Amino acid sequence: MTLSGTAHLDHARSSGLALSLDHVTVRYDSVVALDRASLEVAPGRVCGLVGTNGSGKSTLFKSIMGLVEPTEGDISIGGVGISAARKSGAVAYVPQAEAVDWDFPIGVRDVVMTGRYGRQGWMRRARRGDHEAVAEALDRVGLTPFAHRQIGQLSGGQRKRVFVARAIAQRAPLLLLDEPFAGVDTTTQAALTDVFRDLAADGHTLLVATHDLAGLSQLCDEAVLLQRQVILHSTPDEVLRPENLARAFGASAESQEVS
C-alpha cells in the first residue's frame, strides 16, 4: 500500500493508532536497551518522551524508524508495519544535532527540499507538489524570508527551524523529534512549540524526546517516562509528580527542575 500527502493522515486516523509498540525488546549484545516497552499513541497528539541519558530514548526512535530491529515485539505506524511505513514516507525524524558543513553553499530552501527526496525518484526532480510542500513548511516555521539564504548564515535557532521544516515537508503523519529545544533561545522554543501544536491540530502525531520538564505541560498532550521500560504513560501533570519522576530519574523531586 502506497500513500501520499493527506492520505497518510487519513489512514492513520482510520486505523485508530498513529503509533503502537507491543512489548518491544532491543538488545545490543548483552546490553538490554529496551525491555518489553509498550506504547500506544493516537493521531493528532503530542507525546513527550522523558528519561535519563541511557534510558532508551534513542533506541526507541531508531526502532520506530526501522534502523534497529527489535529482538522481540512488534511496532506499527498507522496500522502498518515498519517496512511498509518507511516505504510510504509515514515517519519523519529531526535529530538533536545535524552533521552539517555550515560553509557548504546550499540555501535554506534546498535543505528543506531534501525532505522530499523520498518522493522524487532516483533523479531527484522536484515537481509542483514538492515545491508546494517546501513553501508550506518554510511558512510554518517562519523562514520564508530566508528561503534563499545560505544555511550557515542563520542563527542557531533558525538552523533548528530549517530542519524542523525539512521534516514537515515530508508530510509524514508521524514526526519524531529528539531534543528539538536543545541550544535554542526562549523565543525560538515558544515559536516551535506553536508549530508543533499546530501540526497536531492538523492530525499529525509527534513523539518528542525532551529534557525540558518545565515546558512539558504546554507542549504535550501526554507524556511517557522511559527507563528501558515504559514506566508511566499519562498526562504531563501526572508524569511530573515528584514520586513519578523519582521512578525514572532515581532522584528526589527537588533535583528536577519542573518549575
pLDDT in tens, 41-58: 999 999 999 999 889 999
How much is the pLDDT for 257?
A: 44
83 in the same domain as 14? yes
Residue 89: CB atoms within 10 A of its CB come to: 20
For residue range 203-225, what is the model confidence (pLDDT) as tens digits?
A: 999 999 999 999 999 999 999 99
The CA distance from 52 to 173, in Å, is 27
**Domain assignment of residue 95, yes or no:** no
Residue that terminates a domain, selected from 154, 171, 188: 171
**Domain assignment of residue 4, yes or no:** no
185 grid coordinates: 533561545
The CA distance from 210 to 41, in Å, is 17
Contact 207, 19 (CB under 8 A): yes
Residue 98: CB atoms within 10 A of its CB come to: 14
**Domain assignment of residue 98, yes or no:** no
**Domain assignment of residue 71, yes or no:** yes
**Domain assignment of residue 96, yes or no:** no
104 grid coordinates: 557548504
Q: Tell me the C-alpha to C-alpha distance, in Å, between residue 79 and each of 44, 50, 122, 147.
A: 15, 25, 28, 36
Contacts of 52 (CB under 8 A, 6+ apart): 227, 248, 249, 250
185 in the same domain as 59? yes
Going edge to edge, which strands form the sheet with 80-81?
31-41, 19-28, 72-77, 80-81
111 in the same domain as 78? no
Going edge to edge, which strands form the sheet with 229-234?
91-94, 174-178, 205-209, 46-50, 222-227, 229-234
Say how many Å lie between the first and final Cα of the chain, rounded: 46
Contact 160, 192 (CB under 8 A): yes
| Domains: count for the chain | 2
How much is the pLDDT for 254?
A: 43
The CA distance from 55 to 226, in Å, is 6
The H or E element spanning position 40 is strand 31-41
pTM of this prediction?
0.86
Residue that terminates a domain, selected from 171, 199, 227: 171
237 in the same domain as 184? yes
229 in the same domain as 118? no
- Characterize 121-160 residue by residue with b for buried, 16 or more Cβ atoms within 10 angstroms of its Cβ, and e for exposed: eeeeebeeebeebbeebbebbbbeebbeebbeebeebbbb
146 in the same domain as 26? no
165 in the same domain as 185? no
**Domain assignment of residue 117, yes or no:** yes
**Domain assignment of residue 206, yes or no:** yes
180 in the same domain as 76? yes
The CA distance from 1 to 3, in Å, is 7
CATH number, domain of 31, equals 3.40.50.300
| 114 pLDDT higher than 60 | yes
| 143 pLDDT higher than 90 | yes
Residue that terminates a domain, selected from 144, 171, 198: 171
63 in the same domain as 122? no
pLDDT band at 99 (very low <50, low <70, confident <90, very high): low
25 in the same domain as 41? yes
185 in the same domain as 83? yes
Listed ranges 21-25, 50-54, 113-117, 244-248; the one with the highest mean pLDDT: 21-25
- Residue range of the domain that includes 77: 10-90+176-249
How much is the pLDDT for 189?
A: 92
**Domain assignment of residue 237, yes or no:** yes
158 in the same domain as 113? yes
Beta bridge partners of 21: 39, 75
